[in-house]
Structure 1
Amino acid sequence: MKLRTITIDLAKTVFQACGVNERMKPQFNTRLKRDQLLDFIRQQALTMVVMEACYSSHYWGREMAKLGHDVKLIPAQHVTPFVRGNKNDHNDAFAIAEASQRPFIRFVPIKTEHQQEICCLHRIRERLGKNKVALSNQSRGLLSEFGVVFPCGHAAFLHGLTSIIDNPQYSHRLQDMVIDMLSEYKTTINRLKRIEKQLTEFVDGCESGRILLSIPGIGVINASAFLASIDKGQAFSSSKEFAVWLGLTPKQHASGNISKMGGITKRGDRYLRKQLIHGARALVSRAPKSSDPLALWAMKLRVTKPFNKVAVAMAHRLARLIWVLLTRQEHYRAMPASLEVSA
């Protein structure tokens, strides 16, 4: 049986596999358990296998690619318009097949295990950062009920907690609570430091990482996040396409001869966009002390635009620069202000 495409609607334990021929007519649409999936795919002739880019898709993509199939991951939002009838696994699997045949669909590259490990470190770091802030805020709020108030900042927080321990002014119960707070806080800080050390080793260990670190506004966190997510940007055909994918381009509202541009679309990876804008904020803040062309460009915008708009515009420019340098495998070269003016 010659199949054009096999599509799989992924889940945790029960999967739906749909095979279509050259005329997009379903040849099978069957329900499979987790331990049956790979055996079923192994029995099929080599063809294109398409799945939604969602939970566990990269793992299954790697496993099926080992069997020799051409595996594609399609963004889930592109599948939804093709679901006909009721929302169920049977219809979802066929909708994936229809969506995969549309022109101009950008498939998601399958991440390696190493890339996914770095992405996991970023997710854990994000959660630990929130836990750290939550613990600090809760501790300050609770201790204020006992008249203990100390300045903002990491050092002041540690000094404030330490000053309560073994202080006869406070009860043993309160001191025990503070000891637990301090232990949890230090444990969180140490875990964050270990994660950042691993990310630094990852970035320093590859040429693409050193290229990203050469760009102003890009540090270890941003460099590792982008490398783990887009590798060398091979999934995008241009820097503009990459910036659009990040959601850093204006949203257009057009009808007839009327066209209005709004705020940024905020499509794509929210975490990457947030981190890039944070880096752009730092770059714009330091612009008055720098002679780099990016800093001079930011200062020109600051004359007529508010800070946040300039930061987002800078993030858009950094995104394009990231794609260009990764594609060319070249380091960023800043021109002195004198050369920039004379040019």
Structure 2
Amino acid sequence: MKLKTITIDLAKTVFQVCGVNEHIKPQFNKKLKRTELLDFMRQQPPTLVVMEACYSSHYWGREIAKLGHDTKLIPAQHVTPFVRGNKNDHNDAFAIAEASQRSHIRFVPVKSEQQQEINCLHRIRERLIRNKTALSNQIRGLLSEFGVIFPCGHVALCAGLAQVIDSEQRSNQLRTMMRALKAEYEDTRSRIKAIEQQLHHFVNNSESGKILLSIPGIGFINASAFLAAIDKGQAFNNPKEFAVWLGLTPKQHASGNISKMGGITKRGDRYLRKQLVHGARSVVSRAAQRTDPLSLWATKLRVTKPFNKVAVAVAHRLARLIWILLTRQEHYRVTSSQVSA
């Protein structure tokens, strides 16, 4: 029995494994327990193994690759159109096999453990930032019930809390509550700073990270996020594909000879797109004081376009620069050829 592809429908404890030949005819399609999967794959000759890019897929991709197989991950949304009949593990595993044979499918590179660790740090940091914002809003809301109002910002919040805690005119219960909230707020900020130090260390010890830091609007937060997500951009054939993957290209509505371009598609990773747009905002806000081609282009757009639209346009240009420089392993240089790439 000669297999061309083995596909695995991943789960927590029970996996569906399907093997197909060169004619995409199933040779087997069976369930395996978690403890049986690696033993089964160890007995198979080296072949192409395809899984959906979903829960635990990168871990299994690394483990199966160690056994000599060529492991690839396919985006889950590309598998759905190939599911025949009812939605079940048996049909899902075969649908992965059919989808993997399409020439236009772009596979997701298997992430290393370090890349996943950096992704974890970003997710934890995002949650802590939400907690910090919620805690700050709660403190302001609670104190407003006692007539204490102070301006926005971290400095004003800490100063306002200190005044309440140190005031003898406030009750002991209120002062105790504010003291506990202040400790929680400061602990959250210290945890965020600790994570940012780890991200800073990761970027500074990576040549690709230094390349990203040379690009306008890219700091260590953005640099670490993009390195963890795309490494050197090897999954994309050109900068346009990368910008499309980020969801920064216009949405097209076409029929016959009529073609209309709408807003950006917002496909792909929302976190990466958000971070890149925030970086582009900093570029646009300082563009008027600079004379490099990217800033001049942004300043020219600001004459006829609102700030947010210009920021998204600059983010699209930055995405292209990121892919070009990572692929070439070159630092950003202020040249008109790079900006117009």
TM-score range, shorter chain: over 0.9
Letter in 1 for 2:76: A
- For residues 219-258 of structure 1, give each alpha carbon's deviation from its aligned partner in whole angstroms, at most 9, with x where no partner exists: 1111110111111111111011111111111111111111
Secondary structure of the structure 2 residue equivalent to 1:31:
strand
Q: Supply the distance in 2 between the matched residues of 1:335 and 1:5 (Cα, whole angstroms).
A: 46
Q: Supply the distance in 2 between the matched residues of 1:292 and 1:142 (Cα, whole angstroms).
A: 48
> For residues 168-317 of structure 1, what are the structure 2 equivalents within 5 Å?
168-317=168-317
Structure-2 residue corresponding to 1:64: 64
- After superposition, the CA RMSD in angstroms is 1.2
Give 1:168 shift. Answer: 2.1
Structure-1 residue corresponding to 2:49: 49
Q: Supply the distance in 2 between the matched residues of 1:28 and 1:177 (Cα, whole angstroms).
A: 63
Q: Aligned pair 1:111/2:140, yes or no?
A: no
After superposing the two structures, state which structure 1 stretch, 72-81 or 288-297, moved more.
288-297
Structure-1 residue corresponding to 2:35: 35
Q: Supply the distance in 1 between the matched residues of 2:314 and 2:269 (Cα, whole angstroms).
A: 18
**Consecutive aligned runs of 4 or more in structure 1 exceeding 6 Å deviation:** none
Give 1:22 shift. Answer: 1.3
Where structure 1 has 5 or more consecutive residues not aligned to the other structure, the ranges are none
Q: Supply the distance in 2 between the matched residues of 1:94 and 1:171 (Cα, whole angstroms).
A: 68
Give 1:260 shift. Answer: 0.6
Letter in 2 for 1:207: E
Structure-1 residue corresponding to 2:147: 147
Letter in 2 for 1:304: T
Q: TM-score, normalised by structure 2?
A: 0.97
Q: Supply the distance in 2 between the matched residues of 1:285 and 1:195 (Cα, whole angstroms).
A: 27
Structure-2 residue corresponding to 1:17: 17
Q: Supply the distance in 1 between the matched residues of 2:142 and 2:197 (Cα, whole angstroms).
A: 33
Q: Supply the distance in 2 between the matched residues of 1:332 and 1:46 (Cα, whole angstroms).
A: 41
Secondary structure of the structure 2 residue equivalent to 1:262:
strand
Q: Supply the distance in 1 between the matched residues of 2:259 and 2:74 (Cα, whole angstroms).
A: 30
Letter in 2 for 1:103: S
Secondary structure of the structure 2 residue equivalent to 1:208:
helix
Give 1:72 shift. Answer: 0.4
- For residues 68-125 of structure 1, give each alpha carbon's deviation from its aligned partner in whole angstroms, at most 9, with x where no partner exists: 0000000000000001111111111110010000111100000000011011111111
Secondary structure of the structure 2 residue equivalent to 1:232:
coil
Give 1:31 shift. Answer: 1.1
Q: Supply the distance in 2 between the matched residues of 1:90 and 1:163 (Cα, whole angstroms).
A: 65
Q: Supply the distance in 1 between the matched residues of 2:37 and 2:161 (Cα, whole angstroms).
A: 54
Letter in 1 for 2:33: K
Q: Supply the distance in 1 between the matched residues of 2:249 and 2:260 (Cα, whole angstroms).
A: 13
Q: Supply the distance in 2 between the matched residues of 1:151 and 1:14 (Cα, whole angstroms).
A: 55
- For residues 108-160 of structure 1, give each alpha carbon's deviation from its aligned partner in whole angstroms, at most 9, with x where no partner exists: 00000001101111111111111100000011101111111111110110111
Q: Supply the distance in 2 between the matched residues of 1:65 and 1:284 (Cα, whole angstroms).
A: 44
Give 1:36 shift. Answer: 1.2
Q: Aligned pair 1:100/2:100, yes or no?
A: yes
Secondary structure of the structure 1 residue equivalent to 2:94:
helix
Give 1:170 shift. Answer: 1.6
Letter in 1 for 2:275: Q
Q: Supply the distance in 2 between the matched residues of 1:182 and 1:4 (Cα, whole angstroms).
A: 61
Give 1:166 shift. Answer: 3.9
Letter in 1 for 2:314: M
Q: Supply the distance in 1 between the matched residues of 2:129 and 2:195 (Cα, whole angstroms).
A: 11
Give 1:335 shift. Answer: 4.8
Letter in 2 for 1:194: A
Aligned length: 337
Structure-1 residue corresponding to 2:322: 322
Q: Supply the distance in 2 between the matched residues of 1:147 and 1:306 (Cα, whole angstroms).
A: 39
- For residues 301-339 of structure 1, give each alpha carbon's deviation from its aligned partner in whole angstroms, at most 9, with x where no partner exists: 111111111111000000001111111111111259xxx
Q: Supply the distance in 1 between the matched residues of 2:153 and 2:95 (Cα, whole angstroms).
A: 52
Structure-1 residue corresponding to 2:4: 4
Letter in 1 for 2:124: I
Q: Supply the distance in 2 between the matched residues of 1:334 and 1:238 (Cα, whole angstroms).
A: 21
Structure-1 residue corresponding to 2:136: 136
Q: Supply the distance in 1 between the matched residues of 2:293 and 2:248 (Cα, whole angstroms).
A: 21
Structure-2 residue corresponding to 1:167: 167
- For residues 25-61 of structure 1, give each alpha carbon's deviation from its aligned partner in whole angstroms, at most 9, with x where no partner exists: 1111111111111111111121111000001000000
